[in-house]
Chains A and B, each alone.
Chain A
Amino acid sequence: MLLTMILVALKRNHKLAIIATLITLTTSLTCIFFITVNAPHFIGELFIIDRFGLYYQALILTATFVIAIFSYINLEHLFPDRRKEEYYLLLMLATFGSAVMVISAHFISFFVSLEILTVSLYALIGYYREYRPAIEAGLKYMVLAAMSSSFLLFGIALVYAVSGTLSFTGLATMPLTIGADNSIILISGVGMMMVGIGFKLAVVPFHMWAPDVYEGASSPVTAFIATVSKGSVLALLLRLFMLADLYRYEKLMLAFTIISVLSMLIGNLLALRQKNVKRILAYSSIANFGYLLVAFISGKGMGPQAATFYVTAYIITILGAFGIITIISRSDNEAADIENYKGLFWKRPFLAAAFTIFLLSLAGIPLTAGFIGKFFLLTAGLGKSQWLLAIVLVISSVIGLFYYLRLIATMMQRDNEYKPHTTFNAFSLLGGIIIAILAIAVVCLGIWPLWLVNAISTHI
């Protein structure tokens, strides 16, 4: 309750520059730590405040905090003296949408928060409007997102037609035997909702937008889409399935199994031929959310915990990766082409080492958080005897190694003229420190994951 109010207040912080943004984020983050909720309590029917939601809110706010700093660096590169303030407004609005989404317990609040998030993302993606790919990406995202929203809305309507309720918990009380006609309507309704959610998560076959948008949007915005937007939708998906107990419907779970297998394989295979680092990360995120669905499919118990751990590790890693892209970019173009990374290891050894850590974490190599995350996913999957998913996960991880290794190998090659951006100021120093912190966090989580595991298991 308190938190929502603070977030509403945030929205009104119009012409604040970066400092104000950071302060508000820190304040709301501190508030979350002071809120102790023992039993989940509902606000009307719309919201549910519980530890699960608070955990994800903390995650979202931390991620946004990091993104805001990188945004500042990025804006300094791209806009010498124009339009810097509105950016933060949009960023805060999108964060507000995500933060509300993870505590939604009702289709109305879910849809509204999703729209807040999406609409501010349209603008954020196309924010750098002098750059044509940005416009293209923004437009593409808008058209497709609008379509997926309408699917979602229609799905909600169908579910409402059968069940007569819009709250998640209401669905749980629905009996499994509700007659063939109604059952078809219900399944197709939930299926349509899955189209909308699948679009946001960019899982195959709803993944088409991801590479273009990742490439067109500026790095911090891409990082936002990859972490905050996807993370909050995943949290919502988990909550929806837990509260409404949709695990009962086998057909639905079968559909998710297919989506997961396809995402893992197609994401990794398509990434192999890419030459743009941001596109590689886009396909890699498609594959990574395929992995995540393995934990999701394995249902209650271990599943949500494993998914939460993995998404946390993923968010830390991907923030670091996009942070590095931001830092080494020059003002006239972003360092997105793989050629720009040639020889980075010899020029900026610590940045390159950090990037290597992040990539290895994405590939799931031990000593990094990604490995522990993958271990949890596999444990969750095999605990429910999902051998097919586990084997596909392993095979596609091996495929994935190819492109992560290629990037690492490129960084180690010699001779290149591309000079990474090297002017130092307080904020790029801060950016460097944050990357160091993220890299250390990835390694620490890879060696001592216990504290996060405990934190998650008390929250979920």
Chain B
Amino acid sequence: MILVWLIILLMGCGSLAWLSGRWSSTLPRIISLAGITIQVVTIISFLMQYKQHSGWIVSYTHSWMPSFGIQIKMAADGLSLLMLLLTSLLGIISVLISWKEINEQVGFFHFNLMFVLAGITGVFVALDLFLFYFSWEVMLVPMYFLISIWGNENKTYAAYKFFLFTQGSGLLMFLSILGLYFIHGHSTGVFTFDYEQLIGTKMTPQTAFVLMIGFVIAFIVKLSTVPFHSWLPDAHTQAPTAGSVILAGLLLKTGAYGLIRFVLPLFPLASHQFAPVAMALGVISILYGAKLAFAQTDIKRLVAYISVSHMGFILLGIYAFNEIAMQGVVMQMIAHGISTAALFIIAGVLHDRIKTRDIDQMGGLWLTVPKMGAMGLIFVLASLGLPGLGNFIAEILILFGSFFANEPLTIIATFGLVAATIYSLRIMQKIFYGKERTQWKVADLSIREMAIMLSLTTVIIWLGIFPSSVLDISRKPVQNIIEEVNGARINTEIQHYSHIEKKGDNCSINLAVFKDNTAHIKK
């Protein structure tokens, strides 16, 4: 029940903020802040009680449209809770960062902000595919408004592109969901959208593959994997700072979460077939994103391409199908959320003060704004993967894990780290170091901004030094999912081999070897 209340709370605060915006422009900010703070407190209290559950920590089921087998079914395990924590944390930060930046239609801005957060919360807890799709779409419209009303110069185009990419791919996913619903219904007689019942639906490999592709496209568009990445630089660049923070920090993560939570367990065999392609796409994103990031002069675009590159690691890790890589993915989701949010805030703050995002016009800013420079340095180092900061742990775990699964691709992906060093240091060099081109008269970070940046710094260093605080929470859910995926494959292969064994004796040796192997994998 508490999960539903969280969503209702966010939506309620959003509506209240809109109404109150007619009288005052501070009231909406306070209402939103209060709403999200309640969410943070609730989630932290759940995490405190958390003791290595293997199932769901909280869950709630209520019928919605029973004649179609649609329920309001929500549940959270460690993975969801971590994501929710990230959601509310970035939610608070985006309210705070827009405190001075947004001055028009403040009420409606916060209405949209809260609805995006509510949609994201829904995505992270939904266990009914219909409800999942519903929340998936609820995120879109307010995000569209955030970009198209409060965005920068080319906002309409960017908002369009964002909406069409995500909505179009989302509808493909919806078709897949319906396909799965009917296949399950026809084979068992139970028509339901319930995730737990739909797992293990029997279908031919071809059908499973086609249905999986529908899901995968929706998720990798959101994850902005090459070749579906082109909406992301535009959307990020044109969105207001709070919008960029939410886009990069949260919306991209819903794609990764969808792959982990839905695609792998629902289509284990098809995922194994698809793994080489997905890993290759991941590696291409890493390198291509890094190359493009190096070529950008617009600072927000640059950070956007860094995201493309980092999301490549996530895709690589997910399709490695082992615990180490998957833990790395969870870590990467959180660390990237924090570090990119921070970079976007610096970009936004700079843009606000010097009215340009072109890094060729900047230079030598360190002297004028030392605090901003120091903060920039920390997060630039984080994004290039400096040991001691969260991103390092994430990337190294992903690379370790994927090395077992696919050596050549992992070796290529490692070059991404070198590229990351180049593009990251270029940011520092161009903006803060080098010759001063103009006599800047710029205010340094204010106390509010400093507080935001310091809290983000604390989190990213904490993640780097005590990664186990996150990894412990996500271990059980990750293990469950990995077991489910690998288990399904091993079972079918055993069936396959024992089928051959009956036919001829020659294969028996093979089978013995294979059983050894599977035992090894199961360990």
The chain A residues found within 8 Å of chain B, CB to CB, are 345-346, 349, 360, 365-367, 371, 375, 378-379, 382-383, 390-391, 394, 397-398, 401-402, 405, 408-409, 412, 449-450, 453, 457
- B182 is an interface residue with CB less than 8 A from chain A: yes
Residues of A contacting B264 in the complex (Cβ-Cβ under 8 angstroms): none
- B447 is an interface residue with CB less than 8 A from chain A: no
The chain B residues found within 8 Å of chain A, CB to CB, are 64-65, 67-68, 105, 108, 130, 133-134, 137-138, 140-141, 144-145, 148-149, 156, 159-160, 163-164, 167-168, 171-172, 174-175, 178-179, 181-182
State whether A378 touches B182 (Cβ < 8 A).
no
Residues of B contacting A367 in the complex (Cβ-Cβ under 8 angstroms): 134, 138, 141
State whether B68 touches A402 (Cβ < 8 A).
no
A346 to B149, CA, bound (A): 11
State whether A398 touches B138 (Cβ < 8 A).
no
Which residue of A has the minimal Cβ distance to B167? A401
State whether B171 touches A398 (Cβ < 8 A).
yes
A453 to B64, CA, bound (A): 12
A390 to B167, CA, bound (A): 16
State whether B160 touches A409 (Cβ < 8 A).
yes
State whether A449 touches B65 (Cβ < 8 A).
yes
Which residue of B has the minimal Cβ distance to A360? B141
Quick one: which of A346, A394, A409, A450 contacts B174, CB cutoff 8 A?
A394
CB distance from B406 to the nearest CB of A (A): 34
- Count chain B CB atoms within 10 A of each CB in A345, A366, A449 and give the residue with the most: A366
Q: How many cross-chain pairs have Cβ atoms below 8 Å apart between A and B?
A: 65
State whether A382 touches B178 (Cβ < 8 A).
yes
Where chain A touches its partner, the secondary structure class is helix
State whether A379 touches B178 (Cβ < 8 A).
yes
A405 to B164, CA, bound (A): 10
State whether B178 touches A450 (Cβ < 8 A).
no
Given A382-B182, A394-B175, A453-B67: A405 in contact with B141 (beta carbons within 8 A): no
A382 to B64, CA, bound (A): 21
Given A365-B141, A398-B168, A450-B64: A405 in contact with B178 (beta carbons within 8 A): no
Quick one: which of A346, A390, A450 contacts B175, CB cutoff 8 A?
A390
State whether B160 touches A383 (Cβ < 8 A).
no
Which residue of A has the minimal Cβ distance to B165? A398
State whether B159 touches A409 (Cβ < 8 A).
yes
Residues of B contacting A450 in the complex (Cβ-Cβ under 8 angstroms): 64-65
State whether B171 touches A412 (Cβ < 8 A).
no
A382 to B175, CA, bound (A): 9
Residues of B contacting A408 in the complex (Cβ-Cβ under 8 angstroms): 148
Which residue of A has the minimal Cβ distance to B168? A398
State whether B141 touches A383 (Cβ < 8 A).
no
State whether A397 touches B65 (Cβ < 8 A).
no
State whether B175 touches A398 (Cβ < 8 A).
no
Quick one: which of B141, B164, B175, B181 contacts A402, CB cutoff 8 A?
B164
Given A450-B64, A453-B65: A412 in contact with B148 (beta carbons within 8 A): yes
State whether B141 touches A409 (Cβ < 8 A).
no
State whether B137 touches A378 (Cβ < 8 A).
no
Given A366-B137, A378-B174: A405 in contact with B64 (beta carbons within 8 A): no
A298 to B133, CA, bound (A): 24
Quick one: which of B149, B156, B159, B175 contacts A391, CB cutoff 8 A?
B175
Residues of B contacting A366 in the complex (Cβ-Cβ under 8 angstroms): 133-134, 137-138
Residues of B contacting A382 in the complex (Cβ-Cβ under 8 angstroms): 175, 178-179, 182
CB distance from B20 to the nearest CB of A (A): 14
State whether B141 touches A457 (Cβ < 8 A).
no
24 contacts between A and B (CB under 8 A): A349-B105, A360-B141, A365-B137, A365-B140, A365-B167, A366-B133, A366-B134, A367-B134, A367-B138, A367-B141, A375-B130, A379-B181, A382-B175, A383-B182, A391-B175, A394-B172, A398-B167, A401-B163, A405-B160, A405-B163, A405-B164, A412-B149, A450-B64, A457-B67
Which residue of A has the minimal Cβ distance to B145? A412
A119 to B484, CA, bound (A): 66
A151 to B137, CA, bound (A): 45
Residues of A contacting B140 in the complex (Cβ-Cβ under 8 angstroms): 365
A402 to B168, CA, bound (A): 11
Quick one: which of A371, A405, A449 contacts B137, CB cutoff 8 A?
A371
CB distance from A405 to the nearest CB of B (A): 6
Residues of A contacting B167 in the complex (Cβ-Cβ under 8 angstroms): 365, 398, 401
